[in-house]
Amino acid sequence: RWSRVKGRLRTSVGEDVYTSWFARMDLEGVQDESVHLSVPTRFLKSWIQAHYADRVLTCWQAEMPEVHRIDLTVRTAMRCAAPTKEATAPAEQRRIEQTNGRPASELRATAPVSASHDALGGSPLDPRLTFASFVIGRSNTLAHAAARQVAEGRRGDPVMFNPLYIHAGVGLGKTHLLQAVTWAGNSGSERKVLYLTAEKFMYGFVAALKTQTALAFKEALRGIDVLVIDDLQFLQGKSTQAEFCHTLNALIDAGRQVVIAADRPPSDLESLDDRVRSRLAGGLVVEMGSLGEELRLGILKSRVAAARAHHASFDVPEAVLDYLARTITHNGRDLEGAINRLLAHSKLNAQPVTLEMAEREVRDLIRPQEPKRIKIEDIQRVVARQYNVSRSDLLSSRRTANVVRPRQVAMYLAKTLTLRSLPEIGRRFGGRDHTTVLHAVRKIEALVARDIALSEEVESLKRQLQE
């Protein structure tokens, strides 16, 4: 009987629509007047409910006139967070008979792939961000090797690590690496590689929801061989996250490759559901560290070479490159910016690049290393440990010699290593007056100047705190 119903449905909606939406619908059972059907995904369910409810019922009634209700459920146990409360409970149980009597226009079938095409355009790619221009250094060797491996895979190859999750701070090459994977994957292989920023994924999905093409969006996403998602930390909103999770699961289960970049490890993506986080952590998680000086020099040289392709006369002396690599320590973007400025400046003024020019032009890119924030509590803890006293001794009013000196050292360190004022430091040391703090600071300064042992002790404490 079930196969006869399916046959009717196929005739009723047409072959294409049938395979798009009903091929994976299963009969769970028939009880009295209700038929229980299941589909593998939430989207399929809501799509069928919204568009084909009465068609399904009619087909059943043709075979079994006593049927008056169709229950449609999602088959597999949900591994992903429910999109929103409203979308789950009551709506979930809504019987599809309730959609009887909808205007015919709502029952119109939508071609799944074409409808989603716009939403799946992918984010723009920068033609310069390829493997050829990616410089390998100590901090990115593993990430690069893994990305290469992924990019060189063929359709149907076993997937080695899934997802490949790359995390690093700003400007350390995440986007470069991800776009390199996309370029390499899309050229010369039959695989479909899609690069999307998390924002684009989000907007694509939201737009698809509005135009009721969410299912199409999702189905099209699942036709991708390699899905590359950049800046995952920006993925927001319960329903997008749930959708992302479904997509992730579907792709990974189908043996498709997923590559992700974010500015933090999976465990720190606070807004994501636990199950998504553990799925993300279940592949290969690689961190790219800060750019070492050698790597910075390599990136600068690669940028100069790229610029010379269009401006043959542009040249940056070794000494200038060294200077830039040594002083611009923050991120790849500043390195790129520095070369762009030197290029612009030397072009506009028809001057060769010199060290003086470099010093003048990139001054604002040379930010001092952000000092590590040292807390007064840390200072008290480290000093107490060093001198074998307790932290409460340091804060107490005891004036025995074995406590007084460590206390003075701790106050001195608080003054030199933090930006706290003298009164503030006094407060944090058991409510002392700022003159007491000042006295301690002067005392230690004087002692350090002539007592080598103390001076070394203080240096060692500073090092411990700065690590």
Chain residues in the site for Mg ion (CB under 5 A) = 174-175
CB of 229 to ligand ADP, least distance (A): 12
- The option from ligand ADP, Mg ion, none interacting with 436 (CB < 5 to 8 A, set by class) reads none
Between CA 50 and CA 107 the distance in angstroms is: 8
Q: Which residue is nearest to Mg ion (CB)?
A: 175
Q: Residue 310, class by beta-carbon neighbours within 10 Å (0-12 exposed, 13-18 middle, 19+ buried)?
A: exposed
> Quick count: other Cβ atoms within 10 Å of Cβ 22?
19
Give the rounded distance of the alpha carbon of 376 from its chain centre.
33
Q: Which residue is nearest to ligand ADP (CB)?
A: 332
> What are 95's two structure tokens?
């019987």
Which residue lies nearer to ligand ADP by CB, 163 or 332?
A: 332
CB of 230 to Mg ion, least distance (A): 6
Which residue lies nearer to ligand ADP by CB, 33 or 126?
A: 126
Which residue lies nearer to Mg ion by CB, 179 or 302?
A: 179
CB of 247 to ligand ADP, least distance (A): 22
Q: Are strands 26-31 and 164-167 parallel, antiparallel or unpaired?
A: unpaired
Q: 248 in helix, strand or coil?
A: helix
Residues 6+ apart with CB under 8 A from 109: 13, 14, 16, 17, 20, 51
- The option from Mg ion, ligand ADP, none interacting with 299 (CB < 5 to 8 A, set by class) reads ligand ADP
Q: Containing H/E element for 385?
A: helix 376-387
Which residue lies nearer to ligand ADP by CB, 283 or 332?
A: 332
Q: Containing H/E element for 421?
A: none
CB of 173 to Mg ion, least distance (A): 8
CB of 316 to ligand ADP, least distance (A): 16
Give the binding site for ligand ADP (CB under 6 A).
129, 133-135, 140, 168, 170-176, 299, 302, 332-333, 336
Which residue lies nearer to ligand ADP by CB, 26 or 126?
A: 126
Is-contact 313 351, C-beta < 8 A?
no
Task: Please report where in the chains the tokens 């899934």 appear, as a residue.
Answer: 162
CB of 143 to ligand ADP, least distance (A): 9
- The option from ligand ADP, Mg ion, none interacting with 246 (CB < 5 to 8 A, set by class) reads none
Q: Containing H/E element for 177?
A: helix 174-186
CB of 183 to ligand ADP, least distance (A): 13
Query: Which long-range contacts (C-beta less than 8 Å, at least 24 apart) are formed by 108-114?
Result: 108/51, 109/13, 109/14, 109/16, 109/17, 109/20, 109/51, 110/51, 110/212, 110/213, 110/216, 111/16, 111/20, 111/216, 112/20, 112/215, 112/216, 112/219, 112/220, 113/216, 113/219, 113/220, 113/223
- The option from ligand ADP, Mg ion, none interacting with 173 (CB < 5 to 8 A, set by class) reads ligand ADP
- Per-residue burial over 401-415, b if 16 or more Cβ lie within 10 Å, else e, is eebebbbbbbbbbbb
- The option from Mg ion, ligand ADP, none interacting with 208 (CB < 5 to 8 A, set by class) reads none
Which residue lies nearer to ligand ADP by CB, 299 or 374?
A: 299
CB of 323 to ligand ADP, least distance (A): 18
- The option from ligand ADP, Mg ion, none interacting with 48 (CB < 5 to 8 A, set by class) reads none
- The option from Mg ion, ligand ADP, none interacting with 437 (CB < 5 to 8 A, set by class) reads none
CB of 322 to ligand ADP, least distance (A): 18
Query: Which long-range contacts (C-beta less than 8 Å, at least 24 apart) are formed by 5-9?
Result: 5/59, 5/60, 5/62, 5/63, 8/59, 8/62, 8/63, 9/55, 9/56, 9/59
- The option from ligand ADP, Mg ion, none interacting with 135 (CB < 5 to 8 A, set by class) reads ligand ADP
CA distances 387 to 80, 400, 429, 458, Å, are 53, 13, 17, 12
Which residue lies nearer to ligand ADP by CB, 112 or 173?
A: 173
Which residue lies nearer to ligand ADP by CB, 135 or 374?
A: 135
Which residue lies nearer to ligand ADP by CB, 82 or 366?
A: 366
- The option from Mg ion, ligand ADP, none interacting with 327 (CB < 5 to 8 A, set by class) reads none
CB of 265 to Mg ion, least distance (A): 16
Which residue lies nearer to ligand ADP by CB, 174 or 200?
A: 174
- The option from ligand ADP, Mg ion, none interacting with 140 (CB < 5 to 8 A, set by class) reads ligand ADP
